[in-house]
Amino acid sequence: MSHAKTSFISTILLMSSMAMGQTTQSDAPPTSPEVKTEASPELIQRARAQQQQEKWVEAAESYMEITEVQPDNANAWFNLGYCLHMAGELDLAINAHRKASTFEQFTGIALYNLGCAYALLDEKDEAFAALEASAKAGFDVGANMRGDSDLVNLHDDARFEAFREAASSGSGDGITSAIQRAKAYLEQNGPAMMQQAMAMAQQFAGMAQQKYQELQQKAGNKEELAAIKQRLFEMYGQAHQAFAQWQMRQNPEAYASQDESETSLESIEEDASETSDVAQVDLEALSQLANNHFQRAQWADAAQAYSAIGKIQELDGVQWYRLGYALHLDGQIEEALEAHQKAAEFDAFRGIALFNLACAHSLLNHADEAFEALEQCREAGFDRIQDMANDSDFDNIRDDERYEAFLASLQDDGV
């Protein structure tokens, strides 16, 4: 049975609305939550990639494999229902929605999706029953009903408006319930979610820097552009600060009196000059200073601090990676080249460092070097190399005939 799917609750929006006590709807196909299982990494990666590419049937088959390995995996069941729903396999989706609703973190939204599936099948009694159960579970059904095209078949039913108004009037209780569930969910999954948020913030900062460089190339070094750049990085810095505060709340003893004890680069250098012995430099304080600058998105200061460490001892993989990243985002692209190359010498950073190296060469209009680094990046098995299609760092080489050929080769490789 094939049914068109025009609107569905986004899981990413679900997580946001649970945390904020509100819900959001969209008519665009959403992105559902990332898989968190103990199944094989290959299976997880395959399911995630298929879902991101909107290969709903193939993704559903992969998630079904995960549920067979781990029948108590809540995320896999929710994603299975999501993909079956999007594929129009509503009868099968109903079973997955029901199973997902047995897991506390997905009860409300899974029941809502169950109601959507029944509505698309024009089974109105079952649809209203599922929507009522969703509302009782704390999901803000009233706020979503009117804008969700899945429920069009219910609009001419007298129960629709009555139910929507009743659900909306009781939304306060729903919000309270949602907050309570969100609190429990965040206690269990908070660290991973915050790491994902930081990855998104880093990506945003990179995009901001890239757009700034584009504008600078086209319009010159104007004060208004610098103001835009500064504001964007202030926003990113605020995200990092929120993350640091969250870490402090999780482990207050480790972060106690950090601000009071933080040492400046100048004071460290002053202490070193007095002894004329680099061994006496407080490397621990210098490393902490560099890390703090990096976490706060203070790229120039972070680059200076990591460079100072490099004058005393050989940097490790993390430090080379962060030095390159900081220089890159501070617009010191030529200086970043060496750091990217050094970071690529460490297995843990080879793939992403080579990707960043390719970005830097592209920004510098070094087309040959950019494609060479991309090829090495692919050979290193970097799993996000396809991001180049949306990365403005590569705008300078998009007109090169090798660019489309390289993207096509990634598809041939199944990336």
Whether 155 maps to a domain, the answer reads yes
Do 158 and 207 share a structural domain?
no
- The domain boundary, picked from 135, 169, 203, lies at 169
Contacting residues for 124 by C-beta, under 8 A, at least 6 apart: 118, 153, 154, 157, 159
Confidence band, pLDDT 50/70/90 cuts, at residue 43: confident
Do 284 and 385 share a structural domain?
yes
pLDDT at 50 over 70: yes
Whether 174 maps to a domain, the answer reads no
Do 303 and 205 share a structural domain?
yes
pLDDT at 142 over 80: no
Residue from 358, 340, 336 nearest 350 by CA:
340
Whether 371 maps to a domain, the answer reads yes
DSSP secondary structure, 236-275, as one string: HHHHHHHHHHHHHHHSTTTTTTHHHHPPPHHHHHHHHHHH
Do 313 and 358 share a structural domain?
yes
Which 8-state DSSP code applies to residue 149? G
pLDDT at 332 over 90: yes
Do 220 and 364 share a structural domain?
yes
Whether 241 maps to a domain, the answer reads yes
pLDDT at 317 over 60: yes
Do 207 and 309 share a structural domain?
yes
Provide the number of structural domains found in the chain: 2
Whether 342 maps to a domain, the answer reads yes
Residue with the bigger pLDDT between 319 and 194: it is 319
Whether 179 maps to a domain, the answer reads no
Q: Model confidence over 199-221: pLDDT tens digits?
A: 565 556 556 556 655 665 665 55
Whether 187 maps to a domain, the answer reads no
Confidence band, pLDDT 50/70/90 cuts, at residue 364: very high
Q: What's the whole-model pTM score?
A: 0.41
Do 378 and 272 share a structural domain?
yes
- The domain boundary, picked from 134, 169, 204, lies at 169
Do 300 and 233 share a structural domain?
yes
Number of H helices, E strands in the chain: 20, 0
Yes or no: say if 393 and 357 are a contact pair by the CB < 8 Å rule.
Answer: no
Do 302 and 209 share a structural domain?
yes
Does the CA dihedral 401-404-410-411 come out positive or negative?
Answer: negative
Do 404 and 271 share a structural domain?
yes
Do 161 and 108 share a structural domain?
yes
Q: Model confidence over 103-136: pLDDT tens digits?
A: 988 898 999 999 999 999 999 999 999 998 988 8
Contacting residues for 338 by C-beta, under 8 A, at least 6 apart: 324
Residue 328 belongs to domain spanning:
194-412
Do 201 and 161 share a structural domain?
no
Check which CATH number belongs to the domain holding 144 and give it: 1.25.40.10
Whether 118 maps to a domain, the answer reads yes
Taking the C-alpha atoms of residue 357 and residue 367, their distance in angstroms, rounded to an integer, is 12
| Single-letter code of the amino acid located at 325 | Y
Q: Model confidence over 238-293: pLDDT tens digits?
A: 555 555 555 555 555 544 444 444 445 555 545 444 444 444 457 788 888 888 88
